[in-house]
Amino acid sequence: MRERFRVTRIARKWDHATGKFHYDIRFRTGTEVTPRTVAVAEAFGLGVDQHREFVIYDNLELKISPKDIVLITGESGSGKSVLLRALEKDLGPENAFNIADVAVDPDKPLIDAVGRTFEEGLELLSLVGLNDAFLFLRRYGELSDGQKYRYRIAKLMESGKRFWVMDEFAATLDRDTAKIVTFNVQKLARKVGRAVLAATTHTDLFDDLKPSVHIHKGLGKAIQVHYYPNEVNRECSLTRDMRIVEGSKEDWLGLEPWHYRQGKVPPPLKIYALKRGEETAGVIVYSYPSVLCFGRRRAFKRHVPMAELNRDFALISRVVLHPKYRSVGLGVKLVKETLPRINRPYVETVAVMARYNPFFEKAGMTKIAESAPDKSLMGAIEDLRRLGFNPVFMASEKSNLLHLQGLEPEKMEECRKALLSISTGYYKRLKASHKAYIKREEFEEFLEKASLEDLAKVLRRLAIIMQTKVYLLWSACGSVNSSGDRALKFSLGNFRG
């Protein structure tokens, strides 16, 4: 027996001034006449032309502001989606944007599909947890379900609409990912002053969404509406049982594929792991500081000798989180809670992502300086560009190798000369040598004997060195500043005393 449904709305009204919505919503059902529906009618004493009316919302009044987080829960068929569609229609397309209506360009990398500028795109993707350098280059179809949902949230933010509408909210996601996405939705909406209208059958998202309006719809016209203070939820429920412990090389290797800079890590001074049960959710690697560092002299106004570096300094060389746990504050937690454990007066780091994601600063580190590419590096890049290398793709060993394989002998010699023209202070990093210093003659000999695979790696390291990086510093006494070293010297004295 097939039923026909018709929705009747009575006294449907939205008061713009007060933000109040009034709804009467009723379903009227009738039965299509077929031989089988007639048989059912005869068996149960029903009339095939009989109509029944079901009251779903009976003079419902809701007060929703443009900054409220509204959660509509209830069983399937209770009328959640009906109410959500009514709210969306009354708000109109000029105010509301449905996550289901996000347009997807399957051929564009994410960094080209979000934001009006490169910087805005990076910021939006980072805010929703798509802050992996490799993810920036992926297309929508290459993402997981959770990453696709995060992408759609970024597009909601980009739209500028005041109300974000989400039916079947996070329904396709596993429950851990759903809670993380839910936490992010409320945090981002409250940060930018937007309202969320979300409907779901799941009852485990309340704590992470922390709604200011909760509508629980029962069957029939049963309904409960509760109003709460509109306060940001600052802790995702999944992080409550996480702990930081001393980690191992195995912890780092388990998460290494998720770090944008793969390859060898300097000999570790200490490794800490963020654990949820037996699962490793994040890792931070502390290493010994490098001899040369562009921001250190600005911070201390002097050269710091090697003996002092080894005694008083540590370097954060890697911080990585499992992609599932990103954008819920765990990066800040991992850095902030391990800085005092390393037992060094100063901890420094040099990072590319710090230009776009200030989690080191939120953890208590001070931004001292941004690097400017050395003139010799820029000159080498220009020479390589004339040989057909595209600097954008030089961070890929595969791309470098393919181009090197097509170079004629005289062009290959020009490539080596371009690399040799770089200031000697960079030879150690380009060769990835453990020696403190490499002379020009030694580097020249290395380039002459290097295989194409080795040269491809050198070119990749050059591309990494060319990136604009941020130098940040932390002091055990919390008195780091970027304008001089008086406070730094004082804190060091306190630490030793």
Placement of tokens 């109109």 in the chain: 92
CA atoms within 13 A on the CB side of 54: 16
Q: Which of 47-51, 55-59, 95-99 has the highest mean pLDDT?
A: 95-99
In 400-446, the DSSP E strands lie at: none
Alpha carbon distance 32, 27 (integer Å): 16
Between 287 and 48, name the one with better pLDDT: 287
Instruction: Examine the pLDDT at 29 and tell me if it is beyond 80.
Output: no
Neighbours of 237 (CB within 10 A): 18
- Break the chain into its structural domains and give their ranges: 1-63, 64-227, 241-372+469-496, 375-466
pLDDT tens digit sequence for 211-226: 999 999 888 778 899 9
Alpha carbon distance 138, 127 (integer Å): 17
pLDDT tens digit sequence for 94-114: 999 999 999 998 888 888 899
- From residue 147, give the alpha-carbon distance in Å to each of 97, 129, 267, 420: 19, 8, 33, 43
For the whole prediction, is pTM greater than 0.85? no
| CB contact at 8 A, 384 and 418 | yes
Average per-residue pLDDT in the chain?
85
Residue 351 is classified by DSSP as: E
Q: DSSP for 126-148?
A: HHTT---HHHHT-BGGGS-HHHH
Q: Does domain 241-372+469-496 have CATH number 3.40.630.30?
A: yes
Alpha carbon distance 400, 457 (integer Å): 8
In 323-390, the DSSP E strands lie at: 346-351, 366-370
Percent of the chain at pLDDT exceeding 70: 86
Q: For the residues 133-157, what does the mean pLDDT come to?
A: 88
Give, in words, the CATH class of 64-227: alpha beta
pLDDT tens digit sequence for 348-401: 999 877 777 788 999 999 999 988 778 899 999 999 999 999 886 787 888 899
What's the burial of 387, exposed, middle or buried (CB within 10 Å: 0-12/13-18/19+)? middle
